[in-house]
């Protein structure tokens, strides 16, 4: 065991006989390639293969799991390079020192687990972070990332990532994805994901501006509602042509409804004029989510829902640093009634697939698993964001397995901007699944050979099927 406490049996059962079974199950899956069907790594990192600048911009600044906790401890976000704040070398070193000084804040958290895995396994940092080791750990990481074999493409090879999905604006030209697909020396799939949220929120202040951009890129007249739909359809086709397999949607709820065409057109015109009421804007957004499902039955994109986050909870931070700066907070969710209209129309439609994620784990057993246990289109998404912690992942398996087993789930998603954390997160998931399966074997509920097969399928067949890879 290293000084950081990275035990070979970490996350495996404490009981010796069950742990022996878990070791064998984990061994069956641990070295299989990583499929990452939902994440936020910038595709330009791989297309340009630019060396990482410093430890802070690689490990700290992109990772909201880390910087939100440091902010809670009183560290200003600007000092951490968050929200586009530029840090020189001295500033990057000071930001790293903040992390080291507050290292004990992360005891018991998955963040510390991932980071220790990265620090030891990737960078050879074996001493725990502290105020005293801040400079030495910074220098060690800086030395490592200066080498060519630590550029993004080399790390894709080292990490064993076979598929990596990014999250992209519908107006993106996807030039980075095209460059990677055309590069015969690059042997990985980097897939765009169609993320139309801001184009489906008529209540946003920038809705008219966004729609105008959509018209420019698609060549369709978005001044009227029918043209707006054609523009979305055209951009979805463009994404499919560039390798996309899914669309992603994150709204306050998943309530769905269908408006009459005339009513949808009326509200759309009001939204462009800035006169739509809040209720009208919400109704059109709920209608447009159903339109996304309709389009999915035509173009084949898997529809993934990531609802239930109260975005930008702290207005001063939003104004100072922009969105995605650590103050999105989960809210209570409801799926059964909200999705009934959408699923009545498309739940049994040939080729339609819908993956449901949540930040409200109470709905896993009560709503998501039962929905996935009836509708051939529905899959239970993996624990996400605030729920991708060891205990929460264990609760997820217990919550859904009784109703849908393993093969109606999505496989693990890392959902991260922190590139170097991807292998640590996937390894954590494989260990936890091995532990869960080992308990079933020990209880004589599953044969050991079946458990080995399930462990392999959870990282291969299952995500491949759910995301049509």
In this prediction, residue 5 has a pLDDT band, given cuts at 50, 70 and 90, of low
Tell me the CATH class for 53-150.
Answer: mainly alpha
Q: Say if residue 4's pLDDT is above 60.
A: no
| Whole-number Å distance between alpha carbons of 380 and 6 | 31
CB 310 within 8 A of CB 385: no
Strand, helix or coil for residue 164: strand
Question: Is residue 313 classed as helix, strand or coil in its secondary structure?
Answer: coil
Confirm if 86 and 78 have CB atoms less than 8 A apart: no
Q: Which residue has the tokens 């994901």?
A: 193
Q: How far apart are CA 313 and CA 426, in angstroms?
A: 29
Q: Which residues are 277's β-sheet partners?
A: none
Hey, which residues does 304 pair with through a beta bridge? 248, 355
| CATH 3.20.20.140 domain range(s) in the chain | 167-466
With 60 as the cut, is the pLDDT of residue 74 above it? yes
CATH classification (class only), 167-466: alpha beta
Residue 397, judged by CB atoms within 10 A of its CB (0-12, 13-18, 19+), counts as buried
Is 346 within 8 Å of 297 (Cβ atoms)? yes
Confidence of residue 166 (pLDDT cuts 50, 70, 90): very high
Task: Give 86's pLDDT tier (boundaries 50, 70, 90).
Answer: confident
What does DSSP say about strands 161-165 and 34-36: parallel, antiparallel, or unpaired?
A: parallel
pLDDT at 3 over 90: no
Q: Could you tell me where in the chain the CATH 1.10.2020.10 domains are found?
A: 53-150
178-206 core/surface letters (b: 16 or more CB in 10 A; e: else): bbbeeeeebebbbbbbbbbbbbbbbebee
Query: Of 244, 253, 409, which is closest to residue 331 (Cα–Cα)?
Result: 253
Give the distance from CA 115 to its chain's centroid: 18
For residue 383, the 8-state DSSP code is: P
Q: Could you give the CA distance from residue 294 to residue 352 in angstroms, rounded to a whole number? A: 9
Edge-first strand listing for the sheet containing 302-305: 246-249, 302-305, 354-356, 378-380
Cβ proximity of 77 and 85 under 8 Å: yes
* Average pLDDT of the residues in 440-453: 98
Coil, strand or helix at 127? coil
Which string of DSSP letters, residue by residue, matches 100-118? HHTGGGGTTSHHHHHHHHH
Phi/psi for 351 (5° steps) reads 85, -10
Share of the chain above pLDDT 90, in %: 98
390-404 vs 422-442: helix axis angle to the nearest 10?
50
Cα–Cα distance measured from residue 365 to residue 160, given in angstroms and rounded to the nearest whole number: 33
Residue 421 clears pLDDT 70, i.e. is over it:
yes
3-class secondary-structure state, position 247:
strand
The residues that bridge with 246 in the sheet, in sequence order, are 302
- pLDDT tens readout for residues 186-201: 999 999 999 999 999 9
What is the reported pLDDT for 83? 87
How confident is the model over 330-386, as pLDDT tens digits? 999 999 999 999 999 999 999 999 999 999 999 999 999 999 999 999 999 999 999
**What is the C-alpha separation between 191 and 173, in angstroms, rounded?**
13
| 44 sits in which H/E element | helix 43-48
**194 Cβ neighbours under 8 A, 6+ residues apart:** 168, 170, 235, 236, 239, 244, 246, 247, 248, 301
């Amino acid at each position: 065991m290293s000084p950081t406490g990275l035990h070979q049996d970490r996350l495996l059962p404490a009981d010796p006989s069950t742990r022996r079974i878990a070791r064998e199950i984990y061994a069956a899956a641990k070295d299989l390639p990583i499929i990452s069907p939902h994440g936020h790594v910038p595709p330009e990192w791989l297309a340009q293969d630019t060396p990482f600048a410093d430890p802070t911009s690689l490990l700290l600044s992109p990772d909201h799991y880390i910087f939100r906790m440091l902010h809670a401890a009183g560290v200003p976000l600007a000092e951490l390079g968050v929200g586009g704040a530029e840090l020189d070398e001295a500033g990057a070193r000071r930001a790293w020192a903040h992390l080291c000084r507050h290292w004990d804040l992360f005891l018991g958290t998955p963040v510390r687990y991932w980071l220790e895995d990265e620090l030891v396994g990737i960078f050879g940092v074996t001493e725990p972070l502290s105020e005293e080791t801040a400079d030495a750990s910074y220098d060690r990481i800086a030395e490592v990332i200066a080498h060519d074999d630590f550029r993004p493409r080399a790390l894709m090879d080292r990490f064993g990532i076979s598929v990596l999905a990014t999250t992209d604006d519908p107006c993106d030209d996807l030039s980075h994805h095209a460059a990677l697909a055309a590069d015969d020396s690059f042997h990985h799939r980097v897939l765009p994901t169609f993320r139309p949220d801001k184009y489906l929120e008529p209540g946003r202040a920038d809705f008219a501006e966004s729609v105008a951009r959509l018209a420019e890129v698609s060549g369709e007249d978005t001044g009227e509602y029918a043209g707006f739909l054609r523009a979305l359809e055209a951009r979805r086709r463009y994404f499919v042509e560039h390798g996309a397999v899914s669309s992603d949607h994150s709204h306050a709820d998943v309530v769905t409804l269908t408006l009459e065409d005339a009513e949808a057109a009326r509200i759309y015109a009001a939204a462009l004029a800035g006169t739509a009421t809040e209720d009208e804007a919400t109704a059109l957004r709920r209608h447009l989510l159903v339109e996304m499902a309709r389009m999915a039955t035509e173009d084949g994109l898997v529809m993934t829902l990531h609802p239930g986050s109260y975005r930008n909870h702290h207005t001063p931070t939003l104004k100072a640093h922009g969105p995605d700066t650590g103050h999105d907070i989960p809210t209570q969710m409801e799926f059964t009634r909200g999705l009934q209209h959408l699923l009545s129309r498309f739940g049994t439609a040939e080729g339609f697939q819908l993956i449901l994620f949540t930040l409200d784990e109470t709905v896993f057993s009560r709503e998501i698993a039962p929905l996935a246990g009836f509708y051939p289109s529905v899959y239970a998404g993996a624990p996400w964001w605030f729920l991708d912690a060891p205990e929460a992942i264990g609760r997820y398996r217990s919550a859904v397995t009784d109703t849908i087993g393993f093969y109606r789930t999505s496989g693990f998603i890392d959902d991260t901007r922190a590139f170097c954390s991807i292998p640590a997160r996937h390894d954590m998931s494989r260990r936890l699944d091995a532990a869960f399966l080992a308990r079933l074997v020990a209880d004589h509920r599953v044969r050991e050979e079946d458990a080995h097969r399930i462990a392999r399928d959870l990282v291969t067949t299952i995500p491949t099927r759910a995301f049509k890879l």
